[in-house]
């Protein structure tokens, strides 16, 4: 170019010596009517090496050169300088954007809007990121309504449950099911005061809600009572079955009162007189109250009496405990059987029974099985 070319205005430019190939390419790109068209691929070009990027002239260049028709719309992008266009990211699922297939350009957190450009490059949509969601309030109201309905549902269910419980309790406590008849069985020596107390507790109570546990505890506090079973029968009956302890032996305490003992060594009753139905354990024992348990020696004596065969028991007059705790038995014939310490009584008793079956007790003065073997002293 000459120096005169440099003096021309900056908004104009002169194209000189343009080759025919360049002119053909520009003609294919813009067309005769000034519209933009895709460049034609050469048959010799490889598909993998084709550069599909289209370089568009600026508006000023296109206008100055006369290559753009008045009908061609120039695409002008007005973008906030704070927007980062280097890494476009998908925008929100807005109805205005879903219909477009273009790239979405979003700004940083401080940007108030973002620009959406269609693939067809025929329009630009600027979406306000801060506008309220028109369906948000509706969704919130529906959620609150669902929560209210759920609370009402649970309150109704709780009310029904409470109502059913109250109705059931009212039926169970109804006088229609009150106990009118109380029957007691097995009570021979049980205290009459205790029996009446239990009868009053059961009578009038509902067969469904009566406190049988309390009645059982009252009866078990009586020293004579070993076990109790209470059953109710629809609509208005109760049965009390009592198992009493069995007296086996008795002894005199230091207070000169008699203690009757069962097979487990429990003191059943304290008497002033001497009973004749049970065997006496001679000697002075501890002064225990009814319901207390005597020491092992008295329990062994009671168990020995219970183990006596029917043929031997009527021949026994009494038992005795020495101060050292040795147990002995005196027959009505005067024969003394010495068991020694109350250990291994079962085997010792077998020796005694065999000996008494073979020999008349009247001829025997002493039978000693304390060592585990029988030693006999003849009269």
pLDDT computed for residue 187 by the predictor? 93
pLDDT, one tens digit per residue, over 253-281 is 999 999 999 999 999 999 999 998 899 99
pLDDT computed for residue 364 by the predictor? 93
H or E element in which residue 244 lies: strand 237-244
pLDDT at 224 over 60: yes
Q: What is the pTM of this model?
A: 0.55
Please state, for a pLDDT cut of 70, what percent of the chain lies above it. Answer: 66
Distance (Å, whole) CA 286 – CA 277: 21
pLDDT, one tens digit per residue, over 97-134 is 444 444 444 444 444 444 555 555 455 555 555 556 67
pLDDT computed for residue 312 by the predictor? 92
Q: What is the mean pLDDT of residues 24-44?
A: 54
Across-strand partners of 103? 117
Assign residue 143 a region: left if phi > 0, alpha if psi is -120 to 50, beta otherwise? alpha
Of 328, 301, 302, 329, nearest to 315 by C-alpha is 329
């Amino acid at each position: 170019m000459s120096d005169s070319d440099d003096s021309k205005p900056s908004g104009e430019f002169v194209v000189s010596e343009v080759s025919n190939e360049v002119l053909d390419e520009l003609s294919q790109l813009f067309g005769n009517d000034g519209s933009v068209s895709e460049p034609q691929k050469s048959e010799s070009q490889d598909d993998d090496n084709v550069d599909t990027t289209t370089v568009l002239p600026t508006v000023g260049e296109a206008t100055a050169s006369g290559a753009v028709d008045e009908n061609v719309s120039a695409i002008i992008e007005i973008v906030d300088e704070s927007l980062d266009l280097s890494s476009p990211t998908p925008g929100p699922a807005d109805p205005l954007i879903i219909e477009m297939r273009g790239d979405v350009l979003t700004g940083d957190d401080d940007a108030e809007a973002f620009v959406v450009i269609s693939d067809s490059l025929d329009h630009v949509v600027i979406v306000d990121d801060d506008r309220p969601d028109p369906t948000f309030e509706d969704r919130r109201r529906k959620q609150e309504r669902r929560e209210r309905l759920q609370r009402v549902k649970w309150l109704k269910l709780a009310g029904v449950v409470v109502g059913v419980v109250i109705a059931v309790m009212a039926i169970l406590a109804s006088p229609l099911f009150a106990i009118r008849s109380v029957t007691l069985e097995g009570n021979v020596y049980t205290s009459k005061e205790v029996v009446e107390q239990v009868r009053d507790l059961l009578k009038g109570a509902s067969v469904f809600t009566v406190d049988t546990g309390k009645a059982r505890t009252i009866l078990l506090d009586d020293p004579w009572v070993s076990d109790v079973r209470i059953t109710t029968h629809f609509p208005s009956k109760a049965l009390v079955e009592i198992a009493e302890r069995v007296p086996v032996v008795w002894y005199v305490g230091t207070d000169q009162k008699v203690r009757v003992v069962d097979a487990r060594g429990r003191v059943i009753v304290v008497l002033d007189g001497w009973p004749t139905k049970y065997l006496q354990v001679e000697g002075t024992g501890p002064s225990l109250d009814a319901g207390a348990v005597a020491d092992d020696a008295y329990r062994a004596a009671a168990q020995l009496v219970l183990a006596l065969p029917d043929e031997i028991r009527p021949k026994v007059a009494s038992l005795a405990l020495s101060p050292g705790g040795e147990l002995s038995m005196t027959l009505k014939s005067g024969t003394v059987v010495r068991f020694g310490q109350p250990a291994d009584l079962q085997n010792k008793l077998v020796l005694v029974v065999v000996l008494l079956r073979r020999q008349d007790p009247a001829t025997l003065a002493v039978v000693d099985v304390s060592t585990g073997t029988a030693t006999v002293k003849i009269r």
